[in-house]
Amino acid sequence: MIAWPEDNGDAIERHVRQLRPRSLGTVRVYRCILLGFQRFVQQSGCVTAINSATIEAWLRDRTKRWPMHLVLHRARIVDRFLDFLASEESIPHNPFEQLRVRYGQRAGTPIVRALLAADCAQALEAQRPVPRFASFLGSFMREHVERMQAIGYRYATQTARFLRFDRFLQGRPDLADQSPAVLLQQWAAESPTLNHACECQHVGRSLAKARRRLDPSVELPQPDRHLTRQLAQQRRRPYIYTPQEVRLLLDTALKFPSPRSPLRPFTLHTMIVLAYCAGLRLGEFVRLTLNDVHLDVGEISICGTKFFKSRTLPLTDSVMAALREYLELRRRAGASQDESSGLFWRGPDAAASYSYVMTEHLLVSVLRRAGLKPETGRVGPRVHDLRHAFVVNRMLEWYRNGINPQARLPYLATYLGHKDINSTLVYLTITQELLQQASERFRAFAAHATEGDPK
């Protein structure tokens, strides 16, 4: 049992104040919800104690008055309040947190839904994540993954595929005596989508390679190229930003509303500059530290990125000027000047730099505010398309300056952090202007062959 603090709402006031909400309306809503929760606890006879049963009773009582989406939202508010009480030792533990840990959940929403189910105990048990590699093929797949990682591969994508296959096999113990081909056929039937079919194909080839190490007579299944072409046609084409659209993005970023973090508009502006002018991946500029920026020589260092590559990138004077201005604003805002601290600082109330997820969310918001992306849905231009635009515009510059792009492609691949130029060619989207420049280059090259006989 967990002791409940006997006060008149002082703990609620302390909690609401430390949240620093943006509006008085938010303060009133939070205070009303938390006071209502406290009254329920006291009226239910749990003045000095509260446990998961009390939480369940409160949730069921609220479902009689609120729609489900409000119950889920306001349960999160109560969850954070109980975390606050536990942090200041007003209560020993947060019942929500205990349930999350017990049933292996990172978020509270699945726990709330389970508590509201007809059979609460069974619903909670169903929330437990299945063990890793616990199927009848689990040990074989685990050994293969460990072997690949031991010889230097990250193998993260293939491991995730194996885990999804393993979860399927754990639910189908009746297939234990079937061949891998039958297992994959049954798994493919679970979801008749192109992505799932392609995933089944990848897992089948990886399993065959692992078995072939033990038995050289095992044949590798040939990839279905028709399936690969269908999947490629289904993917969205990259969006190539025009210089005018990039200018619009930069201006929109500087006007981004952020009253609690005045540095954020300049942070987003600098992120877009690096994504467009240096072709950085989102994860690369998120992980930048102060030690990676070398203002004296006009370079930045990208360490330990994709394909285990590190590289040093020279930048133009205009990009270095933008970085220099941002670093000065960052210093004035009181950010840490330790060389290991993140380049992009969240603010005095934040304990760390921007995460990948938060950065992507903010940059997508900039795209939407600029009118380049619809307000909802996963459609329209992406943040990663800035990298595509960097490649296309670099090719255009070479054409305009009379430089042979073919000879420069290896340098561009190195700058982008690719293992070869084949990866770079994926980014080379043919635009009308690029096609026109290439045609003009070919016309100038072959003009002598089209001239008539002077006689």
Among 327, 352, 382, identify where a domain stops: 382
Give a yes or no: residue 216 inside a domain: yes
Both 193 and 317 in one domain: the answer is: no
Q: How many domains does the structure of the chain reveal?
A: 4
Among 207, 234, 261, identify where a domain stops: 234
Q: Which residues of 252-271 are buried (b: 16+ CB within 10 A; e: fewer)?
A: bbeebeeeebebbbbbbbbb
Give a yes or no: residue 396 inside a domain: yes
Both 105 and 173 in one domain: the answer is: no
Give a yes or no: residue 5 inside a domain: no
pLDDT for the residue 25: 82
Both 222 and 260 in one domain: the answer is: no
Both 46 and 161 in one domain: the answer is: no
Both 255 and 371 in one domain: the answer is: yes
The active-site residue out of 74, 100, 281, 287 is 281
Give a yes or no: residue 18 inside a domain: yes
The active-site residue out of 306, 311, 408, 441 is 306
From first to last of its 455 residues, what are the pLDDT tens digits of the chain? 445 555 667 888 888 888 877 677 888 899 999 999 988 888 876 555 678 888 999 999 999 999 999 999 999 999 999 999 888 888 888 999 999 999 988 889 999 999 999 999 999 998 888 899 999 999 999 999 999 999 988 899 999 999 999 999 999 999 999 999 999 999 999 988 889 999 999 999 999 999 999 999 998 888 888 887 887 777 778 889 999 999 999 999 999 998 878 899 999 999 999 999 999 999 999 999 999 999 999 999 998 887 677 899 999 999 999 999 999 999 998 888 888 889 998 877 655 688 899 999 999 999 999 999 998 888 899 999 999 999 988 888 888 888 888 888 899 988 998 888 887 877 776 666 666 766 666 566 555 555 555 54
Give a yes or no: residue 184 inside a domain: yes
Give a yes or no: residue 201 inside a domain: yes
Q: Cα(310)–Cα(393) distance, rounded to whole angstroms?
A: 24
Give a yes or no: residue 426 inside a domain: yes
Cβ-proximal residues to 318 (8 Å cutoff; 6+ apart), any chain: 277
Both 371 and 311 in one domain: the answer is: yes
Both 324 and 195 in one domain: the answer is: no
Both 378 and 247 in one domain: the answer is: yes
Both 335 and 397 in one domain: the answer is: no
Both 28 and 76 in one domain: the answer is: yes
Both 250 and 334 in one domain: the answer is: yes
pLDDT for the residue 5: 58
Both 342 and 374 in one domain: the answer is: yes
Look at residues 186, 218, 184 and name the one whose alpha carbon lies nearest to residue 204. 184
Is there a catalytic annotation at residue 225? no
Is there a catalytic annotation at residue 281? yes
Q: What is the pTM of this model?
A: 0.69
Give a yes or no: residue 454 inside a domain: no
Cα end-to-end distance, the chain, whole Å:
106
CATH number of the domain residue 341 falls in: 1.10.443.10
Distance of CA 202 to the CA centre of its chain: 23
Q: What is the domain extent for residue 186?
A: 138-234
Among 336, 355, 382, identify where a domain stops: 382
pLDDT for the residue 46: 57
